[in-house]
A and B are shown apart, each in its own frame.
Chain A
Amino acid sequence: MTDDERLLLDRARQGDAYAFGELAVRCRTSAFRAALAALRSPSDAEEATQEAFLTAYQQIHTFRGASSFKTWVTAIAWRKALDRRDGLLARLRRFVSLDGVMNDVPAAAPDQEHLVIEADRAVRLRRLIDALPAKLRDPLLLSATGEHTGDDIGRLLGIPAGTVKSRLSLARARLKEGLHRLGYADE
């Protein structure tokens, strides 16, 4: 933690909202991208991030500096996003059954193969990522933010860094399998 950050933290602890706002500006992207990885909707992710910063401000006395402020706030944003995701899924399940929607992507007919262009492949790949189970999708997207190390992701997800790595490998294997089913040859 830099001296500058420590000074801002001290002022924020005394109720200086502007000092806290300055800290927030420095780590909002990290927190927002973590929330986006969980929620996949920018507006929902933004709301979760706002809630996370408010909670961090109210609970700033509990931050002892064991990790960086960015790591601390990002972890709060991640939890807020997961709460929101659970709520959204629960509401959605009241109306439709998600069985087969979240985990299965229909296989393309063989004659579609030649029609698919590169842009379409990217779109389908994103759909495949969306369709991954959360335990594989979360580490993949958190890793893709470029904001977190494997250890950081492990702490966010509450799993060892080695498990993060194995889940990333499994996620990639699933995605390749999905591409193959859609008619894309491995390159």
Chain B
Amino acid sequence: MSDPKNHGTVDDDIDLAARHMVEAEPSSGFDRELMARLRSAGAPSGDPVSRWGGRAAIAALVLLAAVAVRFGHQAPPKASEPSPRSVASVDLGDFEPLPQLTVSRTQVASEIDLDGFEPVSKMTLTHWRGKKEGRP
């Protein structure tokens, strides 16, 4: 689109130079590459109305499922049975709580008798049943 009022030799040269810069065609592999990209891109994402309709349907299903879980029949909670390992009993028959116990830092002493203790240089634990009583 050249300006007819200002057309002369220089304008012709300008038109020619500008055309040289943009009058080109895509390369021969353009169509092949585009088709490969289109195929790998998958189908178009669809009409927004139907897309949002689909999302609304999914949301409604999720909501229905949540309501069914909330108000549906529920079995009474089953009392959990402790595993054998967690059973512990403490006999508090003779226990009498102290009215008040005061321990100051200087009154506390710890004593560990280490007579006859020999450090084990190497120990291999081959089997452990998991019971405290039978622990080696």
Contacts and interface: CB of A to CB of B under 8 A. Distances in A.
A21 B31 contact: yes
Given A36-B22, A40-B21, A172 B14 contact: yes
A129 interface: yes
A67 interface: no
A176 to B, nearest CB: 6
A125 B26 contact: no
Contacts of A50: 30, 33-34, 37
A137 B3 CA distance: 15
B99 interface: no
A50 B40 CA distance: 13
A33 interface: yes
B8 interface: yes
A54 B44 contact: no
A42 B18 contact: no
Interface stretch (A22-30, A83-91, A100-108): A22-30
B45 A61 contact: yes
B46 to A, nearest CB: 6
A60 B42 CA distance: 13
A122 B18 CA distance: 10
B92 interface: no
A71 interface: no
Contact of A144 (B23, B43, B44, B46): B23
B24 interface: yes
Interface in A1-48: 12-15, 17-18, 20-21, 24-25, 28-29, 32-33, 36-37, 40, 42, 46
Contacts of B16: 122
A25 B25 CA distance: 11
A60 B20 CA distance: 33
A interface, over-half SS: helix
B2 to A, nearest CB: 8
A46 B20 contact: no
Contact of A25 (B31, B38, B46): B31
A121 B13 CA distance: 9
Contact of B22 (A14, A121, A145): A145
B3 A168 contact: yes
B19 A144 contact: yes
Contacts of A59: 44-45
A53 interface: yes
A54 B43 CA distance: 11
Given A28-B34, A33-B24, 17 more contacts: A14-B43, A15-B42, A17-B39, A21-B38, A25-B31, A28-B31, A36-B21, A36-B22, A37-B22, A58-B41, A58-B45, A122-B20, A126-B17, A140-B18, A141-B21, A144-B19, A150-B1
